[in-house]
A and B are shown apart, each in its own frame.
Chain A
Amino acid sequence: MTAPFLVARNIAKRFGALTALVDVDLEIRPGEVLALLGDNGAGKSTFIKILAGAHPPSDGELLIEGNAVAFASPKDAAASGIATIFQELALSENLSIAENVFLGRELKRSIFGIPFLKRAEMRQRVDGLLQELDAHISDPEAPVGSLSGGQRQAVAICRALNLNAKLVIMDEPTAALAVAETRKVLALTRRLAGRGCAVVLISHNISEVFEVADRIVVFRRGRKVAERLAAETNHEEVVSLITGAHPDVRALEKTN
């Protein structure tokens, strides 16, 4: 088994009086698609926001390739090779595809000490990435707000690819997509893992998860209640883990 890219230990997150996460331990390995499952409000989005540097954890630690890290901002997480595609996508609807893909780390040339955008070069790189993803967008200069859900997802994935991320986190990437677009995004997920990327996928669609995931982790009420290899579990068991009907979860919830 390869060494984990990222280790989370005893992660907790409180928002005021509300406890969104308690004691989460997790390992994420390169080349592996890890699915995070759980009911609404289970804490999945909160957990990945901590990995993404968008929220500091209230407790616990993160290790990347064995070294403890503390992210002060999404920029820090990005610098450590973590790219996150948030549920709300975090794209700027008023900007073009290329501008979105490079937003926050633009290609620039310095003229008299002033950074000017290398617009043509950014555009070229993004055209290449879109082609690689087999995403067809008729007008690449159009504002992202005018694109379809799947096209926006492709833009967000381009952003991650462009970062040369070692860990790509996707929060419900297929939730708003039509069937054909969902297929493309799932294929993309496997392709990312095939490149040696670690992938964390949040999804509500269990069949979809079985299609792409190597490992399945279930969150419930802010706790990680189960971890299974996809090959060693099945649809029914996963459902009972999510709903809390599974004996393991019952036992766990009784002790807490």
Chain B
Amino acid sequence: MNVVRQSGTGVFSMNGREWSLLVACLLAIVIFSVASPHYATPGNAVTVLRNSVELLLIGLGMTLLLAMGGIDVSIGIVMGLAAIAIGRILGADGSPFVALVAGPLVGALLGCVTAAVVVLGRVPAIVGTLGLLGVYRTAVFVLLGGQWLSGLPSSLTDLLAATVLGIPVPALVIAVAYLIVWLALRRTPYGLHLLAIGNSEEKARLSGIPVIKVRFLTFVISGVLTGIAATFYVATYRNVEMSIGSTSALDAIAAVILGGTSILGGRCSLLGTVLGVLLLRILQNGLLLIGVPSLWQPVVTGVLIIGVLGFEAVSNRLPLTRFQRARA
């Protein structure tokens, strides 16, 4: 494990990884601007930001999960199920306010299901959520009956297109979510417990930490954030298609790892996740605009994951041996 100071950091204080990500984002923007005349337009900037909203919310939750030594590969389909609930409410001309509550609620419930399997059932997170992914896929298929949920009324869209003091609602929601998650992580016992569990569940237990409670809660938090993501998804696209969320887990894990959160747990960066999401979306959008088919997007994401983990494995080899010596 890489021993990195982390807890004294401020809301926006940056480390080396985060600076490199920022530079990478700017570099990508410059390169794409040169490569494509359609790239550097205000409209495209809005598109990139717009496309980042769901992933930012899911990414915050995934950061907590990975920091805890957990993971959730079913998270995209959880968003799909929450989106179906929201779509059904809107489709039946339900109140957009009810739809607003439905997303986080369904997310929380599914978070409880995941936690029941992984935390209470003691199934390793990667296996448990992979199993749930299969179940939820079929559930989405059955619920949609093989058809898109489309042509939804614009009531929710209008609600979330508003601005508060000139700030668009999605930006506001993300800022508030970021702040809450940051406070929970860096300023409450919950955050310390989560990082201790990510370092070693057994040691955390020996230290008297309520391991089960903390792990359960984290899956629920991730579910709620994903439910909010579903709300923005439906508001934006006003339809729910069969393939909804199929790349979200991969994208979220990539962005989080890119941001400097350890896949092994115990160390994380929320700001890194935000920058990781932006870099990912900038790359995906830019490649599309210079003519790379969208089919290649998961390849880019996959290569980024492997690249970052490979790089970390190599650069961690030295500190790791020193660490083991200190422990022996």
Which of A's residues lie within 8 Å of B, judged by CB?
Answer: 52, 54, 73-75, 78, 84, 86, 88-96, 99, 103-106, 108, 114-117, 119, 141-143, 145-146, 148-149, 176
Contact = CB atoms under 8 A, between A and B. Distances in A.
A52 B187 CA distance: 29
Contacts of B189: 106, 108, 115, 117
A119 B199 CA distance: 21
Given A90-B207, A93-B199, A105-B208, A143 B5 contact: yes
Given A73-B208, A78-B208, A94 B188 contact: no
Interface string B1-15: 101111110000000
What are the nearest 8 A-B pairs in CB distance?
A104-B208, A75-B208, A90-B206, A145-B3, A94-B266, A92-B196, A90-B203, A104-B207
A124 B196 CA distance: 21
Interface string B183-205: 10001110011011011101111
A99 B327 CA distance: 20
A231 to B, nearest CB: 34
Given A93-B199, A146-B3, A116 B208 contact: no
Contacts of B204: 92, 103
Contact of B205 (A74, A88, A91, A146): A74
Nearest to A144: B3
Given A75-B208, A94-B198, A94-B266, A117 B192 contact: yes
B256 to A, nearest CB: 17
6 contacts: A52-B206, A54-B205, A74-B208, A92-B204, A116-B187, A149-B326
B220 to A, nearest CB: 16
B1 A145 contact: yes
Which residue, A73, A92, A115, has most C-beta atoms of chain B within 10 A? A92
Interface residues of B, number: 33
Contacts of A105: 208
B267 interface: yes
A96 B191 CA distance: 13
Contacts of B1: 93-94, 145
A103 B3 contact: no
Given A93-B3, A94-B198, A94-B267, A117 B207 contact: no
A119 B266 CA distance: 19
B231 to A, nearest CB: 24
Nearest to A176: B328
B243 to A, nearest CB: 38
Contact of A143 (B3, B183, B205, B207): B3
Given A93-B3, A99-B7, A117 B187 contact: yes
A10 B138 CA distance: 55
Given A117-B192, A143-B3, A74 B199 contact: no
Contact of A95 (B196, B326, B327): B196
Contacts of A54: 205-206
Contact of B203 (A91, A96, A108): A91
A54 B195 CA distance: 21
B318 to A, nearest CB: 14
A141 B327 CA distance: 20
A104 B5 contact: no
A114 B184 CA distance: 9
Nearest to A152: B326
B323 interface: yes
B127 to A, nearest CB: 24
Contacts of A119: 187
B209 interface: yes
Contacts of B193: 103-104
Interface in B164-192: 183, 187-189, 192
Contact of A141 (B5, B187, B192): B5
A94 B261 CA distance: 13
B215 to A, nearest CB: 15
Contacts of A176: 327-328
B195 A94 contact: yes
Interface in B68-123: none
Interface string B252-273: 0000000000000011000000
B207 A74 contact: yes
A142 B7 CA distance: 9
Contacts of A52: 206
